[in-house]
Structure 1
Amino acid sequence: MDKKEYRVLIKHCFLEGNNTVETKTWLDAELPDTASGKLTIKDWYAKFRRGEMSTEDDERSGRPKEVVTDENIKKIHKTILN
């Protein structure tokens, strides 16, 4: 089971009105090999309570893919050699 499917199950439990302990207990019983920790469930519940109902990963900051181009590599190489 992938992360998204697991998050959908957590969201289902949230919408059913279960608390985090009930959700953790149910997931452990139904999916003993793949169940997440309590903290993961609490984090997703907090997100759902804020009204963020998406189960997708949020974008993360970091270096954009456009940075690593042949042109940029040549410029950096030239700068280092000078």
Structure 2
Amino acid sequence: MDKKEFRVLIKYCFLKGKNTVEVKTWLDPEFPDTAPGKSTIKDWYAKFRRGELSTEHSERSGRLKDVVTDKKN
């Protein structure tokens, strides 16, 4: 399962009123090798509590992945 799908499951649990310990306890046996860690779940819960209910990553400022420069001879 990819990270986006886990965020959706975490959001579902948040909206159902489960706490982070309940989410971790539920995800670990279901996805033993790929379940997100406690800190990841807590981070997403903090975002949801602030009203950021999107499960997408927000854009970040900083250096671009691809930089185009004019090549001078």
Structure number with higher relative contact order (C-alpha < 8 Å, ≥ 6 residues apart): 2
Rounded to whole Å, the distance in 1 between the matches of 2:35 and 2:17 is 19
* Greater C-alpha radius of gyration: 1
Deviation, 1:16, is: 0.8
- Kindly provide the CA deviation profile for residues 49-71 of structure 1, in whole angstroms up to 9, marking residues without a partner as x: 001000001112222467423x2
CA RMSD of aligned residues (A): 1.7
Rounded to whole Å, the distance in 2 between the matches of 1:43 and 1:65 is 25
Structure 1 stretches lacking a partner, 5+ long: none
Rounded to whole Å, the distance in 2 between the matches of 1:23 and 1:52 is 19
TM-score, length basis structure 1: 0.79
Which of the pair is proportionally richer in helix?
Answer: 1
Percentage of matched positions with identical amino acids: 77
TM-score, length basis structure 2: 0.88
Structure 2 stretches lacking a partner, 5+ long: none
* 28-37 or 47-56, larger mean C-alpha shift: 28-37
Q: How many residues align?
A: 73
- Kindly provide the CA deviation profile for residues 18-63 of structure 1, in whole angstroms up to 9, marking residues without a partner as x: 0000000000021111111100000000000001000001112222
* Aligned residue number for residue 60 of structure 1: 60
Rounded to whole Å, the distance in 2 between the matches of 1:40 and 1:66 is 28
